[in-house]
Amino acid sequence: MKNLQPHLLDPIKCRTEWNDYRALLAAKPTLSEQKDVLPFFKKSKDLSLLICSYFPNIKTPDRFAHEYELDGDFVADLVVGDSKVHHYLLVEFENGATDSVFKQKGKKATPDWAPRFEGAYSQLIDWLWKLEDKRSTADFVNTFGSRRATFQGLIVIGKDMNLSQQEKDRLKWRMDRTMIDSNAVSMVSFDDLAGDLDHWLKAYHNV
């Protein structure tokens, strides 16, 4: 496991990156994970750090890495964390489309969970399994600072989804009630991500 990169959030640069993010959302009706999302956040390290606010235990984010190889085939799209309190957020980026989370199948009235969403959830299961497998190693301690380091997962997926009330309730229930080995996993759309990041920049950084 390679070391995470040290970096402290610069609110002014972060606001500039947020403006670029809003422009990306406005310019693209759908977002490709490989062509749009990963390249954008890879060059936006301050905005990437701010995403850690989804994990309230993180106080001062000071470490990050994009496309972080946990082991062999297990690669996290983004890891952000606080090296002082040893809390880290694992982020899985997916595509931004109207059917990224729920997908209509045949004549069923109730849509199925979309393959992209199920695949993202399975990715987080594998990441957390691999991290637990490595917890007792010196490599783990060197990377995350403590054998007791804690993790939380976030799936960023979907755009302009206009979910029905039932779909919103299904999604919220799943995210609130299911955990992976006591690790919480949450989900946010690319649209809501923009709103949340904007709020945190105004509320916490006054920009």
pLDDT tens sequence across 40-58:
999 999 999 999 999 999 9
> Which pair of structure tokens corresponds to residue 34?
């490989």
Whole-structure pTM value? 0.96
Q: Which of 1-5, 60-64, 116-120, 194-198 has the lowest mean pLDDT?
A: 1-5
Q: Which two tokens stand for residue 22?
A: 């809003």
The helix-helix angle for 11-27 and 190-205 (nearest 10°) equals 160
Integer CA distances (angstroms), 197 to 45, 75, 112, in order = 13, 24, 29
Q: Under a CB-based contact definition with an 8 Å cutoff, are residues 76 and 90 in contact?
A: yes
Report the mean per-residue pLDDT for the chain. Answer: 96
pLDDT digits (tens, 9 = 90+) for 110-130: 999 999 999 999 999 999 999
Residues 6+ apart with CB under 8 A from 144: 81, 86, 88
**Angle in degrees, CA 128, 155, 110, rounded to 5:** 115
CB neighbours of residue 93 within 10 Å: 23
**How do the domains of the chain map onto residue ranges?**
5-205
